[in-house]
Structure 1
């Protein structure tokens, strides 16, 4: 069984904390506007998708490009989630950090039981 929030590649950094009644996720997305961030829950996956289109140009007096730096692309993170209350997920973007509060579904017992060996 996959671990909650298990993932493969890491195109942007995240911190994930589990509390008794919720998960808290913080993702670093500097320079990305909230309109360019898409958050979805599909089955047992929480998907965070972010797009960046930054273009910096410097031209000389003849309008020739002297230097051009482009950074663009789409960044995607997928996390395994289970027993969450999808209807009450809260998301906020503050100073380049996306903060998600993901409540656990009430009544789902996630406690562990030690098995006695005979």
Structure 2
């Protein structure tokens, strides 16, 4: 009798139970990507792994000390019979988005390149003088 009512575990595994293993790649947690950030005295270097994407799929923005990386990937598979009728037609869209706070960056000097699935962004630092700090006297 208990098997007639779905349990919480059944809902948690809905994608696997309903679609089977052939659609597992559609439900994977692919909304993030791996990023390495290195800091030196003169710049930040960010490397993001984005395999399977092209540079046209990627959007970069630096505004108010925040570096935003976004990407959108669309895939489709069509299988037809000899008459051109669909036997199977699949479409998927994946969106990737990450943001990083990187302060004191010279916005005019930012460069980026995309090679073999790796996005490399160079963010040179501004010269920051100590006079920008406001010392507050306690009374």
Give the TM-score normalised by the residue count of structure 2.
0.63
Q: Map 1:69-108 onto structure 2 (within 5 A).
A: 69-107=90-128
- Counterpart residue number, 2:84: 63
Cα 1:79/1:55, change in 2 over 3 Å: same
User: 3-state SS of the aligned residue for 1:11?
Assistant: coil
DSSP-derived class of the 2:108 partner? helix
Q: Is the Cα–Cα contact under 8 Å of residues 83 and 108 in structure 1 kept in the other structure?
A: no
Task: Please show how residues 1-118 of structure 1 align to structure 2 within 5 Å.
Answer: 11-107=32-128
Which runs of 5 or more residues in structure 1 are unaligned? 1-9, 110-118
**Greater fraction of residues in strand:** 1
The 1:108–1:17 alpha-carbon spacing in structure 2 relative to 1, beyond 3 Å, is: farther
Q: Over aligned residues, Cα RMSD in angstroms?
A: 1.9
Larger Rg: 2
Which runs of no fewer than 5 residues in structure 2 stay unpaired? 1-30, 131-139
For residue 70 of structure 1, report the CA deviation from its aligned partner.
2.8
Counterpart in the other structure of 2:12? none
Q: Supply the distance in 2 between the matched residues of 1:108 and 1:97 (Cα, whole angstroms).
A: 34
Query: Alpha-carbon deviation of 1:74?
Result: 2.1
* Matched position secondary structure for 1:30: coil
Distance in 2 of aligned mates of 1:106 and 1:49: 28
Query: 1:62-85: CA deviations, max 9, x gaps?
Result: 333334443313211111111111
